């Protein structure tokens, strides 16, 4: 293991960096970090938690719209998600400028790109075929484009495609494919088009959602046509017949530049129009862009880095914060399902990903926002039946674990997040824990709950029996914590007991690669399964051997039907965040755990690109060895993260990867649902949190250097601080945590927190 | 027991009857039959299975909109249901004409009525306060009004209220209350307004649905205003802010008459406009009305009554047919949830009510329509997860039994209804029978299925344990029949066995009023319960005694939580339509059953006003005594049905009561799911079914007179027919069933069908 700070700097130096002259932290945000490789981040402009996210769509297949050149551009649609896997969602209401002889006779205008520029709030490219320059920015609910046409080109125009969406499949009912329900367009006067796109399906197999638009051009068009499927005509409107529809707008010959604002709403075209007017008023493209940058500047400045932070570190850190705060989408006032004064957020995608670090990071930066998010979860539970485990397009689904919104609530409760009705939240948690979702288990709730309650574990034969058991145990613990805090001691006792259910899948005599005891498949009768049947044939019952390293099943058995979702037993057998001491004991004690963890990392059983292993590098803390945590974290960061387009090692999952990175760079790491953060050697010499109530909290490394990799002592507000965790309350109170660094491990941090008396 | 034919005629004669000069059967339809008392039928104009059903709304509380004078009229809204109980649904997009000083300054224009006229396709009244005459008719998807103003009145205008709906509660979250999600209006030119109403909740606790409208006036308005809540202004539009909105349109002083067409769509305003144009083209009010009458005339003429039918009988019979065919609503092409070529019907309200006689009657009159209905059920199952047990506003819910759509399919299969993919239908049935709906059990699927499969019955503690067990047994039988017909013998064996599950709640030693053996509550451990705990207090556990006559629980324990839904054990212990011989045996044999049935009817344990007892009067057939069936049926008809406004003894439930009446008047009665009809003494001397393929089937009573109450012999196509049932195939083949009547019971019909060899 080598010093990682140096390595990070070295990686950054190999790339061309913009010159930062403005002193704005937003200049350090590079939306391209994580856009190539597995990251899949959204690269277009977005306000914080913005409802509208315009981006080029490079073919109808990429999840976030964009793909690297030379892939073609189909158009620029207005709604996207960031960092997701599985089938795409959204990609609604595409616009595409065009010019050239006969261009008004075609509904499609694919083109390739050159001179692409991507920065916070701004996207631009020149289309090779047409020579048109397209620039995009956005207000919270209105995308704004500036289109510059080649001066002499004929038939300068704009296609507004209400029928476009991402993830269309030639097999319309393909699992996770988005499916057209209907679309509609209507020419309104001489400078506007309105309509909608109604789509169902996608990754979460959601019910139909409708994206309404009102697109207004700064220059009147001289000709307008509309289309239904491939037929183009002079009709002013195309009512919804379940077809793809769109409009072709042509501008006068002399037109050089057109600004287009595309107001979006989930309620109606009129509301989309109102959103466009309210969002942008008389502002031009540049003014809208400036407003977007201002909104991020204020938010990102809440965490300030010390002067020694390198450009690469600042780029990684602020981009990570940015990525953490573009989802979920704030759709308050845009809910077509019910009507009450509560905030409404959509695109929890998925809470299984974001509860661990994204939500805790938002809590630190913007607790008011996090309270809104929590309230929207509880309210969705009240109005829709269950809180989401994931939600998009106004529909719950899919469950990965089942009910991890419970951890989000427990995290808020532990951190005393104000503005939440925790009794109501507890009721929503208890719904998850007591009412089996039955046939709706892919969409919400705890699938297999009946069996979990009867047997103490989810047996083989029910999808994702392994991680469901583990995660329900953690969620039960979350319920217990909230119940206890609210004085419901009977509930506390019941759910604390139930939170040990993961032990019922602990196969204690199972040995693998020096480790003893693993969470393994078990049938309804209590038998351990060394091999697992798969497939649905009633004649042949093929089996495959299941070991602690089994990841995917044969013939690409879908993740949804595996024992563990997107992980191995090596990973999940270390993922008991609510009872690490119990885990250490059942693993054979501290020495056995030390050995097990070393094997886990040294043999790459650790999976850096997915969330189940997020906490694992910090487990050394519970062995009294935060120095080992520091080594592992530094190593993982250096080898997997950078400020390049491939700088995220896995799907960013609405900022999950990014927030994991940001926390570790500061030297703090949360254990979601708990009121403390684990302290390890920071990547950044100094980080100051400008807290909501005006207080500041600073983490500062003393004798910070590449060689001094270990914390040897610490003080909190000048007083000796020998513990390896710090409470949220201590951070909220403001102050300074000084970490004295040294070249060799020391005795600091052997104990995680003060003895409780 | 007296002759019923005479009594029916006597009742009819006491009312003023219209003079029938046209010879049209539609003249015999009186939409007011069943409109007062419990019937709750819809009295406004409707096409067969029409999507649009305009009616005055007399306060925002009645289920079908209308109430008898002197109750005030709030306005005329465009979507209603017929014959329902529980919380109201729909009542969207209300219009109300007004005049008088200051009328343009008010959003509400309540008025009282005089001179109300109600006939098929036509409603009119004069408003007392304003003196305005309002006439209403409708096309399938467009309501048409003719408004005649008092000549000299000032401020003649029309309010278009997008925020109105039925069933609003001062407690917005009240169970079964409809709740506003949002509404919107927009003035379009000088003669049209468009917008929508988005509502959730109502009887089925459904998700939000949206009713779009495009209302066009035949005379341009001179002034237009819009409102949001109580604020009126000159804005041309009111975008959706979750508020009530509407428009006020004022016509020029000299205006005397205005026609208004209100196109409706569940997709968009543009589609509503297109529906208005396509539906009405350049037709005026009278032409639209004529078209409506024509569409019914063709349909109702498919059943022809012999010349001896009295006016009252014709009024009762054709009105019953009419009531059977105004729901479910044909919304093909208007589905906002998915997009495929299958038909789409909504407002199955509820199948628990309609599977017994409504669906079989539609099958006889219009098999093409019934195939569309069945296909839409199967497709809802495929796209939405489960077939509905009830559905309204594009949302499944609520379950009364759980999965009675299975009976509808079995009925279609038994009758060889063409145009249905029965393998796909079987899959939808099996979904019901194998996948517990969990927390969604109020909306769809078989609640308590897990326990039903494990124990063989639904135990006490799960809502509606009694009728769920009985109905799941019947539904299992339905699955077995379809499976067998499709060659799936293993499924047949399994589900036939399971169809005996009702026996597991048969408490054989329980005696009550001379009968022995009743379906009674049983707990999970198999114990019979003589008293039932109720309420949710954790401190007190009050109980009430449960007997075979218990109907409601104390403190109005909701039906949803009772052992039987809307019925007693006396009723449900006779409701085993799929195994009447088994029921007779378990009741102690034919003599015990005879005695039990006599007690049931003589002591009024029979409940004429609800569906669970529908088949009971015919149970005498299985004792070889169709003469007793005839007596009971004649008695029940005479005492409970008439051609008066109070002529239906219970909620018509989308035509359930009406279709029960119509069948019995002909002398045939279906046992839904089976391929036969029970034959008893007809009320009508002669009934001819003009079948879909051009064949005719006639039932004709010979020696028909009030005294000759019994069938003494019968012939089918001239050949002796000694059996008391006739198969659907025999009817479909066309022919004549002659029933020779006599004054005393004879030996005819001792056997139900020929011996099978």
pLDDT tens-place string over residues B378-392: 999 999 999 999 999
Residue B401: per-residue pLDDT: 85
The answer to whether B239 contacts A431, with C-beta atoms less than 8 Å apart, is no
Nearest to A436 among B179, B238, B439 (CB): B439
Q: How far is the C-alpha of A401 from the C-alpha of B206, rounded, in Å? A: 27
Q: Tokens 């025999």, residue?
A: B730
b/e string for B712-735 if b means 16 or more Cβ within 10 A?
bbbbbeeeebebbbbbbebbbebb
The pLDDT value recorded for residue B552 is 77
Are residues A181 and B337, on separate chains, in Cβ contact within 8 Å?
Answer: yes
Specify the pairing of strand B696-702 against strand B735-742: parallel
| Closest chain A CA to residue B243 | A339
Give the residue carrying structure tokens 């996210």: A53
pLDDT at residue number A556: 55
Percentage of residues in chain B having pLDDT higher than 70: 96
Can you give the pLDDT at residue B536?
Answer: 64
In whole angstroms, give the CA distance from residue B617 to residue B148.
51
**Chain A interface residues (partner B, CB cutoff 8 A):** 179-182, 184, 186, 196, 198, 200, 207-208, 210, 237-242, 267-268, 270-271, 273-274, 333, 335-339, 385-386, 431, 435-441, 445, 449-450
Are B184 and A337 an interchain contact pair (Cβ–Cβ within 8 Å)? no
Cα separation, B21 vs A99, in Å, equals 69
For B271, which residue in chain A has the nearest alpha carbon? A239
Of A180, A237, A438, the CB nearest to B270: A237
Helical residues (DSSP H) of A171-265, grouped into ranges: none
Mutate one of A202, A338, A398 to test the B interface: name it (highest B CB count within 10 A): A338
**Chain B residues whose beta carbon lies within 8 Å of the beta carbon of residue A237:** 270
Q: Cβ separation of A270 and B239 shorter than 8 Å?
A: yes
A445 interaction partners in chain B (CB closer than 8 Å)? 438-439
Task: Name which of A326, A280, A319 is nearest A146 in CA terms.
Answer: A280
CB contact under 8 A, B182 and A336: yes
- For tokens 């069936």, the residue is B629
A210 to chain B: closest CA residue: B336
In angstroms, how far is CA A23 from the centroid of its own chain? Answer: 28
Contact state of B181 with A439 under an 8 Å Cβ cutoff:
no
pLDDT at B118 over 90: yes
Distance of residue A354 Cα from the nearest chain B Cα, in angstroms? 25
Q: Which H helix or E strand runs over A82?
A: none
Structure tokens at A523: 């049938």
Residues of A within 8 A of B336 (CB-CB) are 181-182, 198, 208, 210
Token output for B484: 């067998």
Please give the span between the terminal C-alpha atoms of chain B, in angstroms, as a whole number: 39
pLDDT in tens, B70-79: 999 999 999 9
Mean pLDDT of B103-123: 97
Structure confidence at residue B62 as a pLDDT band (50, 70, 90): very high
What size, in residues, is chain B?
757
Q: Is the pLDDT of residue B14 over 80?
A: no
Two structure tokens written together for A625? 């060895």
Residue A686 forms beta bridges with which residues? Answer: A700
The pLDDT of residue A535 = 67
Indicate which of A268, A380, A424 best probes the interface with B, i.e. most B CBs within 10 Å of its own CB: A268
Per-residue pLDDT averaged across B24-29, rounded? 96
Q: Which of B392, B281, B245, B379 is nearest to B328 (CA)?
A: B392
Q: How confident is the model at residue B557 (pLDDT cuts 50, 70, 90)?
A: low
Residues of B in contact with A182 (CB under 8 A): 267, 336, 339
Does an H or E element contain B45, and which?
none
CA atoms in the 13 A half-sphere facing the CB of A514: 12
Q: Prior bond to B598 cis, omega within 30?
A: no
Q: What does the pLDDT look like over B314-336, one tens digit per residue?
A: 999 999 999 999 999 999 999 99
Contact B438 A445 (CB under 8 A): yes
Q: Are residues B438 and A431, on separate chains, in Cβ contact within 8 Å?
A: no
- Tell me how close the Cα of B519 comes to any Cα of chain A, in angstroms: 27
For residues B266 and B211, the answer to whether their CB atoms sit within 8 Å is yes
Pairing label, strands B668-670, B676-679: antiparallel
- How many residue contacts between A and B have a Cβ separation below 8 Å? 124
Name the residue facing A207 among B179, B180, B337 (closest C-beta).
B337
**Nearest chain A residue to B268, by CA:** A240
User: What would the pLDDT profile of B521-538 be if each residue is shown by its tens digit?
Assistant: 999 999 999 998 776 666
Measure CB to CB from residue A439 to each of B186, B271, B435 and give the nearest one. B435
- Inter-chain CB proximity B437 and A441 less than 8 Å: no
Q: Which residues of chain A have pLDDT under 50?
A: 1-21
Nearest to A166 by CA among A66, A247, A237, A234: A66
* Whole-angstrom distance, CA of residue B326 vs CA of residue A455: 50
Contact B242/A435, CB-based, under 8 Å? Answer: no
**What's the rounded mean pLDDT across residues B34-41?**
96
Chain A closest-CA separation from residue B431 CA (Å): 9
Nearest to B147, CA basis, from B233, B22, B257: B257
| Yes or no, beta carbons of A439 and B184 under 8 Å apart | no
A608/chain B closest Cα distance in angstroms: 36
Q: Do B200 and A338 touch (CB under 8 A)?
A: yes
Distance between CA A533 and CA A511 in Å, rounded?
A: 22
**Amino acid A532: pLDDT:** 86
Rounded to two decimals, the ipTM of the complex is 0.95
pLDDT of A538:
67
User: Considering the entire predicted model, what is its pTM?
Assistant: 0.96
For residue B713, give the 3-state DSSP assignment.
strand
| Helix (H) or strand (E) run with residue B666 in it | helix B656-666
Question: Residue B753 to residues A232, B411, B715, B724: CA-CA distances in angstroms?
Answer: 64, 18, 14, 7
Cβ within 8 Å, pair B440-A437 = yes
Nearest to B439 among A239, A270, A435 (CB): A435
Question: In angstroms, what separates the C-alpha of A400 from chain B's closest C-alpha?
Answer: 18
B440/A385 CB distance under 8 A: yes
Query: Nearest-CA residue of chain B relative to A438?
Result: B438
Q: Which residues of B touch A450 (CB under 8 A)?
A: 436, 450
Nearest CA in chain B to A451: B450
Mean pLDDT (chain B, rounded): 94
Under the banding of pLDDT at 50, 70 and 90, the label for residue B19 is: very low
The shortest CB-CB distance from B208 to any of A242, A337, A431 is to A337
pLDDT tens for B667-694 read: 999 999 999 999 999 999 999 999 988 9
Q: What is the mean pLDDT of residues B271-279?
A: 98
Selected for mutation to probe chain A from B268, B335, B386 (highest A CB count within 10 Å) is B268
Tokens linked to B253: 């002083």
Q: pLDDT tens digits for B648-658?
A: 999 999 999 99
Quote the minimal CA–CA distance from A185 to chain B in Å: 9
Q: Report chain B residues whose CB lies below 8 A from the CB of A273.
A: 239
The tokens for B698 are 């006639």
Residue B554 has pLDDT above 80, yes or no: no
Contact flag A339-B184 (C-beta cutoff 8 Å): no
Contact residues on chain A for B207, CB-CB shorter than 8 A: 337
Residue A471 near residue A402, CB atoms below 8 Å: yes
- Shortest Cα–Cα distance, B207 to chain A (Å): 7
Contact of A187 with A215, CB cutoff 8 Å: no
**CB proximity list for A331: less than 8 A, separation 6 or greater:** A51, A266, A344, A345, A346
Name the residue among B186, B337, B435 with its Cβ closest to that of A438. B435
Residue B756 has pLDDT above 90, yes or no: no
Minimal Cα–Cα distance from B208 to chain A, Å? 5
CA of B405 vs chain A CAs: smallest distance (Å): 17
Closest-CA distance of chain A to residue B464, Å: 17
Q: Do B338 and A208 touch (CB under 8 A)?
A: yes
d(CA A122, CA A132): 17
List phi, psi (to 5°) of B313: -60, -45
> How high is the pLDDT of residue A14?
38
């Amino acid at each position: 293991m080598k010093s990682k700070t140096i390595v990070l700097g070295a990686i950054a130096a190999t790339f061309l960096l913009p010159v930062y002259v403005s002193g704005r932290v937003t200049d350090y945000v590079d939306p391209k970090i994580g856009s190539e490789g597995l990251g899949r981040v959204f690269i277009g402009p977005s306000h914080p938690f913005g409802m509208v996210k315009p981006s080029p769509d490079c073919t109808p297949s990429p999840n976030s719209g964009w793909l690297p050149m030379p892939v073609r551009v189909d158009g620029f649609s207005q709604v996207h998600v960031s960092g997701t896997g599985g089938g795409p969602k959204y990609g609604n209401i595409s616009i595409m400028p065009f010019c050239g002889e006969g261009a008004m006779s075609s509904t499609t205008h694919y083109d390739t790109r050159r001179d692409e520029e991507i920065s916070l709030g701004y996207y631009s490219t020149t289309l090779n075929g047409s020579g048109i320059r397209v620039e995009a920015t956005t207000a919270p609910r209105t995308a704004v484009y500036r289109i510059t046409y080649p001066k002499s080109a004929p038939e300068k125009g704009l296609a507004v495609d209400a029928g476009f969406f991402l993830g269309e499949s030639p097999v319309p009912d393909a699992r996770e494919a988005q499916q057209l329900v209907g679309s509609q367009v209507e020419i309104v006067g001489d400078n506007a088009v309105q309509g909608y796109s109604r789509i169902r399906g996608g990754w979460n197999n959601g019910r139909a959602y409708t994206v309404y638009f009102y697109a207004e051009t700064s220059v009147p068009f001289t000709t307008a046509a509309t289309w239904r499927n491939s037929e183009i005509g002079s009709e002013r409107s195309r009512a919804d017949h379940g077809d793809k529809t769109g409009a072709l707008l042509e501008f006068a010959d002399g037109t050089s530049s057109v600004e287009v604002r595309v107001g979006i709403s989930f309620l109606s075209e009129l509301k989309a129009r109102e959103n466009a007017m309210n969002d942008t008023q008389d502002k031009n493209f540049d003014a809208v862009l400036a407003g977007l940058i201002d909104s991020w500047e204020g938010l990102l400045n809440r965490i300030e880095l010390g002067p020694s932070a390198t450009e690469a570190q600042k780029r990684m850190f602020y981009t990570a914060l940015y990525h953490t705060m573009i989802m979920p989408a704030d759709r308050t006032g845009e809910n077509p399902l019910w009507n009450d004064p509560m905030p409404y957020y959509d695109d929890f995608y998925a809470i299984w990903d974001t509860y661990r670090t994204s939500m805790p990071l938002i809590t630190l930066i913007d607790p008011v926002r996090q309270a809104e998010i929590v309230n929207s979860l509880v309210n969705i539970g009240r109005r829709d039946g269950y809180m989401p485990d994931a939600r998009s397009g106004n529909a719950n689904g899919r469950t990965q674990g089942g009910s991890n919104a419970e951890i989000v609530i427990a995290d808020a409760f532990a951190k005393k997040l104000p503005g939440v009705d925790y009794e109501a939240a507890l009721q929503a948690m208890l719904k998850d824990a007591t009412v089996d979702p039955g046939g709706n288990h892919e969409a919400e709730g705890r699938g297999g709950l009946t069996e979990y309650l009867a047997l103490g574990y989810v047996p083989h034969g029910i999808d994702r029996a392994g991680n469901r058991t583990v995660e329900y145990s953690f969620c039960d613990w979350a319920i217990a914590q909230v119940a206890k805090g609210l004085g419901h001691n009977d509930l506390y006792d019941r759910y604390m007991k139930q939170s040990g259910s993961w032990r019922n899948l602990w196969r204690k005599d199972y040995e693998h690669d020096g480790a003893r005891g693993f969470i393994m498949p078990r049938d309804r009768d209590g038998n351990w399964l060394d091999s697992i049947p798969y497939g649905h044939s009633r004649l042949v019952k093929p089996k495959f051997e299941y070991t602690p390293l089994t990841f995917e099943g044969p013939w690409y058995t879908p993740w949804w039907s595996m024992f563990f979702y997107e992980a191995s037993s090596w990973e999940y057998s270390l993922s008991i965040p609510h009872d690490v001491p119990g885990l250490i004991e059942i693993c054979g004690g501290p020495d056995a755990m030390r050995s097990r963890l070393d094997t886990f990392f040294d043999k790459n059983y650790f999976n850096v690109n997915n969330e189940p292993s997020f906490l694992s590098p910090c487990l050394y803390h519970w062995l009294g060895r935060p120095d080992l945590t520091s080594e592992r974290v530094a190593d993982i960061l250096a080898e997997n993260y950078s400020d390049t387009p491939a700088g995220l090692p896995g799907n960013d999952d609405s900022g999950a990867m990014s927030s994991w990175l940001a926390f570790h760079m500061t030297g703090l790491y949360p254990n979601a649902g708990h009121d403390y953060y684990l302290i390890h050697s920071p990547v950044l010499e100094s980080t100051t949190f400008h807290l909501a109530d005006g207080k500041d909290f600073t983490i500062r490394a003393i004798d910070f250097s590449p060689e001094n990799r270990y914390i040897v002592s610490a003080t909190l507000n000048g007083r000796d601080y020998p513990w390896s965790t710090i409470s949220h309350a201590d951070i909220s109170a403001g102050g300074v945590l000084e970490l004295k660094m040294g070249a060799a491990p020391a005795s600091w941090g052997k104990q995680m927190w003060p003895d409780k008396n």
